Every structure is written in C-alpha cells, then in structure tokens.
Amino acid sequence: MVAQSGKDLLIKLDMTGSGQFETIAGLRATRITFNAEQVDVTSLESQGGWRELLAGAGVKSAGMSGSGIFKDANTDERARQIFFDGETPNFQVIIPDFGTVEGAFQITAIEYAGSHNGEASYELSMASAGAMTFTAA
C-alpha cells in the first residue's frame, strides 16, 4: 500500500437501515482501531516459561472516532438521534487501497466544542456492536 490522503478514509452511516450509506459530512479526522483480547493459557508445562495464548478465543472489537465541523444537517441530526435512542445501525469505513469494513456500531460519545473566534466542532466515538465484515479493495 502506497501513501494515501487522509481525507480518503471515510466513515459512512446507513441513514435509514436500507443499506444506502452516506458519508458523515464535515469530518476532518477519522480513525478506526481493531482489538482482540488475549486468552492466556500459560502453565508450568509451557516450553521455556514462555507465555502461551489460546488462538481465536478472545473477544474482538472495533472502535471508530471522528472529529469535524457541522456541514450537513441530515447526518448531524441522524448521529444525535442514534446516540439518544441507543441505536446500533450499520456503518462503513472506507480505507483507501485497503478495503471496506462494515458492521453495527453504537455511538458512545458526542462532544461539542467551540472557541470565541473559531468554528463550532464535534467529535464522535463509536464501539462495535456485532460482527464486522471486510471487503478488500
């Protein structure tokens, strides 16, 4: 994978549950992380005292975050609705020259900020709420 423009890493939201995804407008910075818990099965019989992990046994999760400015009333309103209603709709993350990750996420935090002589901004944090699918680019 060669160098990519950060603006091409997109977070998209299924606005109606119909599978029609729209980019969350106004985001300036986006991030996705993947985690897998480890299950330690080390015992006195472990070779050389080295830790042993049980393959495929830990809980997997993904987290997304984004920050930006208000640009689109529809996606802003939908994000607020998802948070206050506790919904877990499908999101997509487009990772340039890598692929698309899709799955259900819960918005776990919304932060609003603004300075006296600057624009109002917001930050979203999301946690996976089910299995993720990956489609290679």
The verdict on residue 59 lying in a domain is yes
Using alpha carbons only, what angle is made at residue 106 by residues 104 and 107, rounded to the nearest 5 degrees? 135
The verdict on residue 32 lying in a domain is yes
The verdict on residue 35 lying in a domain is yes
Per-residue pLDDT at 44: 94
SS (H, E, C) the chain: CCCCCHHHCEEEEECCCCCCEEECCCEEEEEEEEEECCCECCCCCCHHHCCCECCCCCCEEEEEEEEEECCCHHHHHHHHHHHHHCCCCEEEEEECCCEEEEEEEEEEEEEEEECCCCCEEEEEEEEECCCCEEEEC
Query: Looking at residue 43, which CATH number applies to its domain?
Result: 2.30.110
Residue 1 has pLDDT above 70, yes or no: no
Q: For the chain, how many structural domains are there in total?
A: 1
102-108's contacts with Cβ under 8 Å and 24+ in sequence apart are 102/132, 102/133, 102/134, 102/135, 103/62, 103/128, 103/129, 103/130, 103/131, 103/132, 103/133, 104/128, 104/129, 104/130, 105/62, 105/64, 105/129, 106/82, 107/79, 107/82, 107/83
The verdict on residue 1 lying in a domain is no
- 13: containing domain: 6-136
The verdict on residue 42 lying in a domain is yes
Mean of the pLDDT values across residues 27-50?
94
Average pLDDT over the chain, rounded to an integer: 92
Q: What is the pLDDT of residues 48-101, one digit of tens each?
A: 999 999 999 999 999 999 999 988 788 888 899 999 999 999 999 999 989 999
